[in-house]
Amino acid sequence: MIQIDDAGSGSLVGGTAVGILRIETNEYMWDVIPIKYFTSPYFENKRYEDYTLSIIKKYLKYLNVDKNEPIEICQGYIFNKTRDFLAKSNYNVKSTKISDPLQSLIESSFIDYCTQIGIPYDYLRYTKYPFHFHKMLRWVFADKKNRVKLCKTAWNSWKKYSDTQLQIHYDYIVTGNYTCLKCGKKINTPSKIKVIEFTTNKKQFIYLHDNCRFSQ
């Protein structure tokens, strides 16, 4: 059986990982839809669907997938054109919610990709929902000038909050486990810190080393 799934389509930061797995042999391949397909005008024109289809076509050929081999594919918007192609090409395809083993594999691959583009691994793993929009927004705002290029800027949610006013003040922490969202290194305690404050659905706080330069 073939499974097809994605990870990262709901993350503000980064492109989107697309993966395919043949369960019986554990043959697994994945690639990333580049971030530009989630910026204007590519996103509005749904060009990510074309890029996704090109990835899946390549892997179907590499795996020599027979038309009779069962294929399970994710129901997400990334695969709209891919699902149509598979059905019209008479593949034995079923649109469904993908579970393990592929779900864990592709999520792990996406996390690896995100650490490669600069998001600290410890920052990703400290909550149940590592790619929560407001959590990713805090990371972006810590170095907005350099990180906006990594964002899905065609999203309405980004357009809503991208110009949010940021306020800077200083504080002193005695205990706690914090990572500087500018340089990605641990903030030792006790120490003076730079705090970036802003409001979206609630008050948000970004902690930086006192000596890490911040500019809006």
Q: 3-class SS at 170? A: strand
Rounded CA-CA distance 38/44 in Å is: 8
Per-residue pLDDT, 129: 61
pTM above 0.85, yes or no: yes
Mean pLDDT, the chain, integer: 94
Computed over its alpha carbons, how large is the radius of gyration of the chain?
Answer: 20
For the stretch 187-211, pLDDT in tens is 999 999 999 999 998 999 999 999 9
Q: Interhelix angle for 80-88 vs 47-63, to 10°?
A: 50
Q: Are 124 and 111 in contact (CB under 8 A)?
A: yes
Would you say residue 212 has pLDDT above 90? yes
For the stretch 114-172, pLDDT in tens is 999 999 888 887 665 667 899 999 999 999 999 999 999 999 999 999 999 999 999 99
Both structure tokens of 170: 């200083």
